[in-house]
């Protein structure tokens, strides 16, 4: 089958209408330049969209290169520029890119944004997911299509095409493209998978490893669809799954359904086998039992397991820090006031609510202990713990307001300067 026929079939499988206008995301690299030419050969009405992430030099040259080809093919062109937020560079770049592509597609009257992800890209995605233990969702890899904006769908018509086939097409037709030097480095995990892992697998298992992994991802995607159907059938309200329905499933099916529910509310939680195992205990737990992890909170209700995101709690006050000329003869009796060593709190100070896993080294104790244990002993109900203010210095718990101070900030015989920390509660707070 020719590459053009594979792309045509991929578009059909993704639900793209025969006469619909397509926005093609074109970086200037091999895969996307071949995709643009192939879509043009299929007679599609096209607009080429190039996104400059402003992360490397050469972006303007790439845009000009793509614009020239678009002009030669009779396609419209628009160059887009995005700012990438701090954090995971690849993830933030992808988020910014898709948002910009969706907006541009809408401007150009396109319902579909077409990308050049190949079976080789799919294989890299699946291998990376396997390495981090991402479960069925990870095995399913990238979907053939997904919504990226109001009325705009991203489609990947080359997921069944190997990179080798794309290279062969370009070589046969003597097509040119731009090389991104960053793809040759080893800084990113995907580059290492592409340059080291997949070639080794092909040497061991023969050509077509990427196609076979991509086919497995397609099968996993179908299985995921069945799990999502079961999840929908068990849903009895927003975020609620019927306990009796869960009990009717096998343990393995329970785990798959709970993992998918968790992933829909908090993706990181859904990837953790240990979190999913804890969620499974809620099916037969007492009413009020709770599992929290990665921004996810799951409660056992009378007849349902309820999922919700654990939003940042609202704290009823603020921390006031006042320098004192000297350490007081006696320490405050008010449990919302403490005196601390100024030299030990010179770093970043943050105030937030209690979180699962917080630890403190209380004054007068050897070693650290869980803040949750401390609060339980002091009679603080689990539902109220997230509203207990916690002061951190350089990321470590320094004061559980109203309860215990950490030895790491406490005044000692060597203290040269002191601060008074006071928690001022908001007016009207109980």
Chain-centroid distance of CA 364 in Å reads 41
Chain-centroid distance of CA 259 in Å reads 15
pLDDT of amino acid 313: 60
- Residue 128 to residues 2, 139, 181, 260: CA-CA distances in angstroms? 30, 9, 22, 19
pLDDT in tens, the chain (430 residues): 899 999 999 999 999 999 889 999 999 999 999 999 999 999 999 999 999 988 777 778 999 999 999 999 999 999 999 888 776 777 888 889 999 999 999 999 999 999 999 999 999 999 998 888 778 988 999 999 999 999 999 999 999 999 999 999 999 999 999 987 667 667 678 889 988 999 999 999 999 999 999 999 999 999 999 999 999 999 998 889 999 999 999 999 999 999 999 988 877 766 778 888 999 999 999 888 888 876 788 888 889 999 987 655 656 788 888 887 666 666 666 788 998 888 888 767 888 888 878 899 998 888 888 998 899 888 888 777 878 899 988 778 999 999 999 998 888 888 888 888 988 876 555 4
- Record: fold of 317-425: Phenylalanyl-tRNA Synthetase; Chain B, domain 3 (3.50.40)
- Residue 148's SS3 state is strand
DSSP class of residue 362 equals B
E-strand stretches of 168-301: 235-237, 240-242, 290-293, 296-300
238-309: which CATH number, 3.60.21, 1.10.3470, 3.40.198, 3.30.465? 3.30.465
Domain 3-212 of CATH type 3.40.50.2000 = no
Where on the phi/psi map is residue 127: left (φ > 0), alpha (ψ -120 to 50), or beta?
alpha
Query: Taking the complete model, does pTM exceed 0.85, yes or no?
Result: no
Q: Are 91 and 147 in contact (CB under 8 A)?
A: no
- Judge residue 120's burial from the number of C-beta atoms within 10 Å of its C-beta, 0-12 exposed, 13-18 middle, 19 or more buried: buried
Q: What is the dihedral of CA 366, 369, 371, 372, to 10 degrees?
A: -140
Domain map of the chain by residue range? 3-212, 238-309, 317-425
User: Which residues are bridge partners to 397 per DSSP?
Assistant: 392
- Residue 229 to residues 224, 226, 256, 269, 273: CA-CA distances in angstroms? 9, 5, 12, 20, 21
């Amino acid at each position: 089958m020719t590459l053009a026929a594979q792309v045509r079939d991929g578009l059909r499988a993704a639900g793209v209408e025969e006469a619909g206008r397509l926005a093609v995301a074109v970086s200037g690299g091999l895969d996307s330049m071949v995709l643009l030419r192939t879509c043009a050969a299929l007679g599609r009405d096209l607009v080429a969209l190039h996104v400059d992430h402003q992360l490397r030099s050469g972006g303007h040259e790439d845009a000009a290169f793509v614009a020239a080809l678009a002009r030669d093919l009779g396609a419209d062109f628009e160059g887009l520029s995005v700012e990438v937020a701090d954090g995971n560079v690849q993830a933030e770049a992808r988020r910014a890119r898709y948002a910009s592509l969706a907006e541009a597609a809408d401007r150009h009257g396109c319902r579909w944004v077409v990308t050049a992800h190949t079976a080789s890209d799919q294989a890299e995605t699946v291998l990376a997911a396997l390495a981090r233990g991402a479960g069925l969702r990870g095995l399913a890899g990238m979907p053939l299509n997904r919504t990226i904006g109001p009325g705009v769908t991203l489609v990947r018509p080359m997921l069944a095409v190997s990179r080798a086939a794309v290279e062969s097409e370009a070589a046969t037709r003597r097509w040119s493209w731009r090389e991104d030097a960053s793809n040759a480095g080893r800084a990113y995990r995907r580059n290492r998978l592409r340059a080291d892992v997949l070639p080794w697998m092909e040497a061991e298992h023969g050509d077509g490893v990427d196609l076979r992994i991509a086919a497995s991802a397609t099968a996993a995607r179908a299985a995921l669809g069945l799990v999502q159907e079961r999840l929908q059938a068990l849903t009895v309200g927003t975020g609620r799954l019927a306990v009796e329905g869960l009990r009717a499933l096998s343990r393995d099916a329970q785990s798959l359904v709970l993992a998918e529910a968790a992933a829909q509310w908090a993706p990181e939680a859904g990837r953790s086998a240990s979190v999913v195992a804890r969620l499974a205990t809620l099916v037969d737990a007492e009413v009020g039992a709770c599992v929290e992890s990665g921004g996810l909170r799951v409660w056992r209700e009378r007849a349902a397991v309820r999922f919700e995101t654990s939003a940042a709690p609202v704290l009823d006050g603020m921390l006031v820090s006042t320098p004192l000329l000297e350490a007081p003869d006696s320490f405050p009796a008010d449990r919302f006031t403490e005196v601390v060593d100024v030299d030990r709190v010179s770093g970043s100070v943050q105030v937030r609510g209690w979180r699962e896993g917080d630890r403190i080294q209380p004054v007068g104790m050897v070693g650290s202990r869980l803040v949750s244990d401390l609060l339980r002993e002091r009679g603080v109900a689990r539902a109220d713990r997230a509203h207990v203010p916690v002061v951190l210095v350089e990321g470590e718990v320094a004061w559980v307001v109203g309860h215990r101070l950490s030895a790491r900030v406490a005044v000692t015989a060597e203290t040269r300067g002191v601060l008074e920390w006071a928690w001022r509660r908001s007016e009207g707070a109980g």
